């Protein structure tokens, strides 16, 4: 039995929840994955996975074995890298998930320069505003703009992302300029669909915290859509600075309630909790920090 290959197959099945998906990621047939798992269970004398026709999940013994197997495989990868990285450029496939707006507005030039610096790497970029699962969906790195919740994943902060409340000059001329967070209750709001606080806005000023449940006319999971609706005078929007900056510069939007601030967000690079970070992931994150965080 090829123990390392069996470990890799087992870990992929647990991470993906599927024999077929594990086979796809490892470029093996489903029957080959099944044989690796069967050989592993036979050698150990325990059942590692609960199986259904569509899903596989670890047993209690399987979960303990998975946690150790991840460490073992990362040690093997680290040992391989230790003897090869000094003599060869990083290569292989790097899968990255990023938010749609950030990807279209900020990521393109960075990716182009990264490709020039590391030509032997293949980049597969998935832009989505859905909260995809980095492990289940097989991403090496996931970029998220969030007030990050605690999780089993490891996150590195790339840069802060400030937010401001914006509206078009026409909207403000017609509906008035809010002077206090409570005034927002009398305005139409354009809200982002994936805030941890739901459709509530939290604003903090000298007089403390204010939680506002605005009356909204649009809720969408893409901040560029919110910006464009705000430019057209459809309401107030709480926007990341990098989304609103160009419209503010052109005078298409104005900020309001500048004495109050929304909770800070940040751009994070999130990756699975292996003991040793792969070279290609480390290089990519370092490149982002150098190119984005210092701008």
Q: Which residues contact 234 (CB under 8 A, 6 or more apart)?
A: 171, 188, 190, 217, 218
Spatial distance between the Cα atoms of 10 and 90, rounded to a whole number of angstroms: 26
| CATH topology agreement for domains 3-84 and 163-263 | no
Question: Has residue 88 got a pLDDT over 70?
Answer: no
**What residue segments make up the domains of the chain, in order of their start?**
3-84, 92-159+266-293, 163-263
- Match domain 92-159+266-293 to its CATH number in 3.30.70.100, 3.40.190.10, 3.30.70.980, 3.40.630.30: 3.40.190.10
Q: Is the pLDDT of residue 197 over 60?
A: no
- In this predicted structure, what is the pLDDT of residue 177? 95
The residue written with tokens 């050989």 in the block is: 39
pLDDT, residue 151, reads 55
Lowest mean pLDDT among 126-135, 177-186, 245-254: 126-135
The pLDDT of residue 196 is above 60: no
* Chain segment 8-17, per-residue pLDDT in tens: 999 999 999 9
- Measured at the CA of 31, the angle between CA 28 and CA 37, to 5 degrees, comes to 90
CB contact at 8 A, 106 and 292: yes
Instruction: Note every long-range contact of 285-294, with CB atoms under 8 Å and residues 24 or more positions apart, other chains counting.
Output: 285/141, 285/156, 285/158, 287/110, 287/113, 287/114, 287/117, 288/110, 288/143, 288/158, 289/156, 289/158, 291/110, 291/113, 292/106, 292/110, 292/158, 292/159, 292/267, 293/158, 293/159
Please state the rounded mean pLDDT for residues 79-104: 76
Fold of 163-263: D-Maltodextrin-Binding Protein; domain 2 (3.40.190)
Residues 6+ apart with CB under 8 A from 289: 156, 158
Q: pLDDT over 90 for what percent of the chain?
A: 39
Can you tell me the distance from the alpha carbon of 40 to that of 66, in angstroms, rounded to the nearest whole number?
Answer: 12
Residues 176-195, mean pLDDT to the nearest whole number: 87
Element (H, E) at 167: strand 163-167
Please, which pLDDT band fits residue 206 given cuts at 50, 70 and 90? very high
Query: pLDDT digits over 109-158, tens only?
Result: 899 999 999 898 889 999 987 777 767 677 888 898 877 655 556 788 88
Give the class (CATH, top level) of 3-84: mainly alpha
42-65 mean pLDDT: 89
Does the structure show a pLDDT above 90 at 180? yes
């Amino acid at each position: 039995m090829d123990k390392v290959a069996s470990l890799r197959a087992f870990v992929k099945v647990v991470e993906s929840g599927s024999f077929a998906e594990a086979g796809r990621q490892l470029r093996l047939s489903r029957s080959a994955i099944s044989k690796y798992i069967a050989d592993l269970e036979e050698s150990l004398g325990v059942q590692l996975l609960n199986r259904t026709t569509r899903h596989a999940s670890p047993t209690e013994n399987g979960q303990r074995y998975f946690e150790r197997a991840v460490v073992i495989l990362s040690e093997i990868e680290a040992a391989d890298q230790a003897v090869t990285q000094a003599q060869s450029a990083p290569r292989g496939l790097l899968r990255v998930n990023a938010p749609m707006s950030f990807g279209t507005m900020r990521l393109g030039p960075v990716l182009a320069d990264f490709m020039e610096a590391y030509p032997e790497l293949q980049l597969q970029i998935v832009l989505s505003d859905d909260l995809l699962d980095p492990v289940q969906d097989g991403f090496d790195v996931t970029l998220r703009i969030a007030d990050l919740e605690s999780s089993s994943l490891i996150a590195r902060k790339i840069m802060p992302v400030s937010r401001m409340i914006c509206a078009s000059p026409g909207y403000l001329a017609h509906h008035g300029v809010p002077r206090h967070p409570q005034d927002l209750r009398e305005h139409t709001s354009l809200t982002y669909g994936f805030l941890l606080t739901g459709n509530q806005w939290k604003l903090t000023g000298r007089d403390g915290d204010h939680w506002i449940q605005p009356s909204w006319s649009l809720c969408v999971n893409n901040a560029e859509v919110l910006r464009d609706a705000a430019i057209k005078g459809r309401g107030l929007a709480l926007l990341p600075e990098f989304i609103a900056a160009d419209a503010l510069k052109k005078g298409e939007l104005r900020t309001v309630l500048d004495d109050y601030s929304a909770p800070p967000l940040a751009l994070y690079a999130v990756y699975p909790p292996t003991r040793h970070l792969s070279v290609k992931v480390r290089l990519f994150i370092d490149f982002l920090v150098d190119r984005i965080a210092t701008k």
